[in-house]
Structure 1
Amino acid sequence: MPFIRRSRLAALALLGAACLSANAAPTPATVRAEIEALLGRITASGCQFERNRSWHSGDDARAHLLRKLKHIEGRPETVTSTEQFIEFAASKSSFSGRPYRVRCGNGDPVESRAWLHRELKALRAADTRAKQ
């Protein structure tokens, strides 16, 4: 009997996981493209990215934030804007709650939320100019 009970529990767990992944919500393509462009700015900036008191390259930051986005996309809710991505994934550590920071050159570090919002604004302004 215990084997049957464990089998049923395993089957229920698999069914639950399948239901959750069936309800997973991908990020809309236009939002995903804007997030990719924003993360490209981190990489191209030459700035460093701090998470949990450790400094990382722009490439490492990009990879980390894409992993966080993928994790969010595995849940039923979705990211519907780049601003939500910044708030949900790119502003603070899910582990420690500490704000992420960005340091460019010899400048003082700034919270990633402010840096990313500024870069997003510049990205959108450049996109608008390119469409005119």
Structure 2
Amino acid sequence: MKIFSLTFLLLINISVLNNAYAETPSSEIDHLIAYVARSNCDFIRNGSSHPSSEAVEHMQNKYKYFRKKIKTAEQFIEMSASKSTLSGKPYWIKCPDRKEVPSQAWLLEELSRYRQNK
């Protein structure tokens, strides 16, 4: 009975740890998407400017497509939010009163801030 109890507790702990790990990238990705949504910045994809609402929709669609391959927030940025899958060209961000920057750098900076404030 003691061995069963210890095994059961071990399995419960492993399950809890796996769930905690699985939720972390998802919560970080949710944060990044929300950050984009409220950014009031323009997103430049393949030379065309798009408002943040369109950028969010585009990122979410790419995230759905690549979801099985994405295990970290960094992979989300790389696969869904930093470059065109078709042309390979990087996405750019143009926020009011700021210099245009690559979306990858912009999102990685926010991810770093988010992790520091957790």
User: What TM-score results when the alignment is normalised by the length of structure 2?
Assistant: 0.76
Letter in 2 for 1:82: A
1:66 aligns with 2:57: no
Asked if the contact 1:48/1:56 (under 8 Å) is kept, the reply is yes
Say if 2:81 is the partner of 1:87: no
Q: What's the TM-score, normalizing by structure 1?
A: 0.68
What's the offset of the Cα at 1:38?
0.7
Superposed structure 1 runs of 4+ greater than 6 Å apart: none
String of CA shifts for 1:67-100, please: whole Å, max 9, x gaps: 0010112xxx521100111112211000111100
1:111 maps to which residue? Answer: 102
Distance 1:113 1:37 in 2: 15
Gaps of at least 5 residues in structure 1 are: 1-27, 128-132
Shift of 1:126: 2.0
Identify the residue that residue 33 of structure 2 maps to in structure 1. 39
Matched, 1:123 2:114: yes
- Preserved CA contact (<8 Å) 1:79 1:85: yes
Q: Percent identity?
A: 38
1:50 maps to 2:41: no
Gaps in structure 2 of 5+ consecutive residues: 1-21
How much is the aligned-residue C-alpha RMSD, in angstroms? 1.3
The one-character-per-residue Cα deviations of 1:47-73 (angstroms, maximum 9, x if unpaired) are: 111111111111111110010010112
How many residues are treated as equivalent by the alignment? Answer: 97
> How far apart are residue 30 of structure 1 and its match?
2.7
